[in-house]
Structure 1
């Protein structure tokens, strides 16, 4: 067991294998239909996993790293800026990308892509679920845009990943922080729309 748990890659691979075996057993012996509903379920699971990675790291930055940076001695801060933050930002931005991609796949598989992106305004028959989940989707799209086109470019400057004037670093760090905080502001209503839509509207 220690061999599995001491290597993160092995831990994740075993965890995914257990998840696959769980689903496969219900498909083979539990009467679960292996048709379109299963593909929607797989897409939804992938969406949730990517979303946890994304929002978990968003909240790590905003609830843990940013507030505690002033408490870290200056000689220890390079460990955060050179090692921890770049690794966290890698998973953060790709978590955002895969969350959006899998969310769009779910909408396509369920056949309501246009309806939710239009907030139900151009649906043949309007239902509040379209506007409710559509709001969540648009908030997620805005947040993902912020990650890729504002936060990440500014973090590269702030962390010295790209060359920039010394004066540009504090400004870039502040811009990245403000847009990260904007995403935190949007995260709770986005998650309300995403997590409650199926339950509230059936």
Structure 2
């Protein structure tokens, strides 16, 4: 590796470190504000509301670990802080990779950041306001009358984070399709052709990442299929990129190389 390549590699590492630090600082600032107001306890109560409303009257969740009542609400607050700071984090990631992209690819930056954030939050909101209530009532309806459900708060947090991540990523399907079409990786016709395969894959993914109940599986698979159709519809308005400037530059480079080869042949002939 030459000195120039080594310096470039080190500069990229330094830039990556700086952007990671900025992202961590942003999350820490938001986390500090949330800890002051409204506080970790209030945020966890809001997160636990779908489950507590489905439990029998007077039943509460339990904390098995010694420091669990402190750590779990703090983890929930950190998760909320990360979501709030997500646009800034995505912007830092985009700013790191943008210098290596073409001009038509750079124009996708801000729309991607906004749409990705909105769809991820929309997926989490759909999971919280619709799926959780249906799933918890469905599960508790099967509980025998001889037992009293008392879920552990740490197990509930793990379940919630898994579901939020699954629905948040699932709702990114339209963005992924638009990007693939915009970059020329696939065509709209191919997406239409692969529709049946995606539907099968959506139900397989839903069966793997959600609890073993029909309600949660359908609640994830059906929106994924609808979002796939939305992605196809949005992709129809996106044409395959034609980087004319880059093509012209490559043509000039090829012409220069051909001219240099001709001159070399003439010199060699002499």
Q: Common fold, TM-score beyond 0.5? A: no
Name the one with the larger helix percent. Answer: 1
TM-score bracket, normalised by the shorter chain, equals 0.3 to 0.5
Query: Which is greater in Rg?
Result: 2
What TM-score do the two structures reach when normalised by structure 1? Answer: 0.34
